[in-house]
Structure 1
Amino acid sequence: MQFERDEVGAAAAVEFAGYGVHERVLTMVHSGVLPPEGGGRVEALSVAELVPSLVADWRLGEPGRTDEQVRQLAERITLYERGADVTFLGVRDDNGDVIARGELYVADGVAQFEDVIVRAEHRGKGLGKQLFSAALHRSAAAGADVWFLIADDDDWPRGWYERLGYRAGPVMHVYQGMA
C-alpha cells in the first residue's frame, strides 16, 4: 500500500504500526547545473557484461539463496530493457570486473538515475560521483532537461545526493508486508 501525500501517509503510520515495513520514499530533483565532465572511467555496459557483477553482489547480500535464485535475481535486469530506454553505466577495475554501476532511464526530456552501487572496497574513490556525472551528461546529450532519482528519506545517501545537486521533492509513504 502506498500514499503519495506525505500528511496522509504519516497519519496512516499510526494505524499501520506493527503490521509491516514502512518506508518514506523521497523523489529528488537535480538542480540542472551539470558538474564538469570527464575524469572517470564510466562506460555503457551490456546486460551480459553486467550480470556477473549482479551475481557477485546478490551472493554477498543474500548468502542464504541458492545459485539458481541468485542467477534469477541477477538476470531480472533483462526485463528492464523491455519498454524502457535504459543504459547500464559502470566502472571496471584493472581486471575488467564491474565495481560500480547504475541504471539510467531517459524518455521525453526526463532522466532517472537509479540503483547506483559501488562495491564496499571501492567506496570513497569518487566512483559514484563519476557515475552521476556521466549519467547527467549522457542524458543531457539525449535531450533531458529534468533529472530525478528516488531515495529513502531517512537513509545516508540523501545528504550525498544533495551535495551532487539534487534537492528534496515529494515524499511518498510505502507500506509493505501487510496481511
Structure 2
Amino acid sequence: MSPTGTTPLTGIAAFLSAFARRQAARTVELPGGFVALDDRYVHSRANNQAFVDGPLDPGGPAALPGRLDQALAHLPYRMVTVLDDATGRACAPYLTAAGYAHHTYVVMIHEAPVPPAAAAAAPVALAELREALAGSWRGFLPHATEEEIGHLVDRREARLRGAEQVRFVAARTPDGQIASWADLYTDPAAGIAQIEDLVTAEAHLGRGHATAVLHTALHLAADLPVRFLIADAHDWPRHWYARHGFTPAGHLHHFDRA
C-alpha cells in the first residue's frame, strides 16, 4: 500500500489525473473525466486531450465518442487517455468503431535497489534542452512545420506546474553536448515519482546515455516508495526497463484519431 492508503495503481492513476489538470490552461468536465486544454500549444495533442478517470455513467462507454466530438469540436484531432484498464477495454470497441486507433500502455514500477547517480547525468534547466528537443522532434516528424516543432518543444513549460516538483534530467557527452534526457515528476506527499519521455538523440545512441539518465532520475527519487514510468505494451523499451528493475503493474489505454 502507498502512504495515501491506496494501492500503487490507484495512487498512480490519481497522480496522472492531477498532473493533467494542473498542467492544463483550462479544463472542461465530462461524465467520468475531463478535457485538458491549452490553446498555446494547439499542435500538441497531448496538451489538448480528454482523460477518463472515473465511471462513465450516464450512457457508459457507448456515449464517449459523441462526448469527445462535442468537447473537442474546435480541434482537427481527437485524443483520450483512459486511466483504468477495465474501463479502457470497455471503451475500445466503441472508440475503434468511431475511427480511433487504440494503444495499450503498461505501467511499470521500479522494485529493484536504487542505483547510484551517474556522473554524466544531472538536472538541467529547460532552456538547456531546447536545441536537443527541437532536433529530436525534427527527426521524429520530418514533415512538421517549425510552428508545430515549436509547440512540441515549448509545451514542456506547462509541465513545470504539473507536479509538486518537476525536473529535467540530462546526460552529456564528454564535450558537453546533451545526448539523452527525461522528465522527473515527484509528489513527496503522495510518495510517488514518475519518469517520463526518456529520449536519446539519434547521434548518441548505444553509448549508455539513457542508462545514465534513468539511474540519476531514480537516485533523485530514491526516498519515494512508488517510482514508475509508462511504456508501450508492444514495443521493445519495456524489456529494457525490465532489465533496469521495472516490473509491469497494470495498463492504461490511449485512443487517438486524426
Query: Is TM more than 0.5 here?
Result: yes
Query: Does structure 2 conserve the Cα–Cα contact (< 8 Å) formed by 1:105 and 1:112?
Result: yes
- Give the secondary-structure state (helix, strand or coil) at the position aligned to 1:23: strand
Call closer, same or farther: CA 1:115–1:7 in 2, change over 3 Å: same
Query: Does structure 1 conserve the Cα–Cα contact (< 8 Å) formed by 2:85 and 2:252?
Result: yes
1:139 aligns to what?
Answer: 221
Call closer, same or farther: CA 1:153–1:33 in 2, change over 3 Å: same
Shift of 1:92: 1.8
- Give the secondary-structure state (helix, strand or coil) at the position aligned to 1:162: helix
Matches for 1:97-176 after TM superposition, within 5 Å? 97-108=177-188, 109-140=191-222, 143-176=223-256
- Give the secondary-structure state (helix, strand or coil) at the position aligned to 1:155: coil
- Give the secondary-structure state (helix, strand or coil) at the position aligned to 1:159: helix
- Please give the alpha-carbon distance, in whole angstroms, between the structure 2 residues aligned to 1:161 and 1:60: 23
- Give the secondary-structure state (helix, strand or coil) at the position aligned to 1:149: strand
- Please give the alpha-carbon distance, in whole angstroms, between the structure 2 residues aligned to 1:71 and 1:16: 30
- Which sits farther off after the overlay, 9-18 or 102-111? 9-18
- Please give the alpha-carbon distance, in whole angstroms, between the structure 1 residues aligned to 2:121 and 2:210: 10
Shift of 1:95: 4.0
- Give the secondary-structure state (helix, strand or coil) at the position aligned to 1:87: strand
Q: Deviations over 1:118-168 (max 9, x none)?
A: 12232222111111111111112xx31210001111111011111100000
- Give the secondary-structure state (helix, strand or coil) at the position aligned to 1:26: strand
Q: Deviations over 1:49-88 (max 9, x none)?
A: 0111111112222222222322222111111112421110
- Which sits farther off after the overlay, 64-73 or 12-21? 12-21
Call closer, same or farther: CA 1:64–1:135 in 2, change over 3 Å: same
2:168 aligns to what?
Answer: 88
- Please give the alpha-carbon distance, in whole angstroms, between the structure 1 residues aligned to 2:133 and 2:176: 14
1:29 aligns to what?
Answer: 109
1:79 aligns to what?
Answer: 158
Counting aligned pairs with the same residue, the percent is 31
Q: Deviations over 1:85-112 (max 9, x none)?
A: 1110101224432110000111122111
Query: Does structure 2 conserve the Cα–Cα contact (< 8 Å) formed by 1:32 and 1:145?
Result: no
The number of aligned residues is: 175
- The one-letter code of the counterpart of 1:138 is L
- Which sits farther off after the overlay, 38-47 or 98-107? 38-47
2:48 aligns to what?
Answer: none
Shift of 1:9: 3.4
Shift of 1:32: 4.1
- Give the secondary-structure state (helix, strand or coil) at the position aligned to 1:154: coil
Shift of 1:115: 0.2
- Please give the alpha-carbon distance, in whole angstroms, between the structure 2 residues aligned to 1:134 and 1:121: 21
- The one-letter code of the counterpart of 2:124 is L
Q: Which runs of 5+ in 2 are unaligned?
A: 1-79
The match for 2:142 among 47, 54, 63 is 63
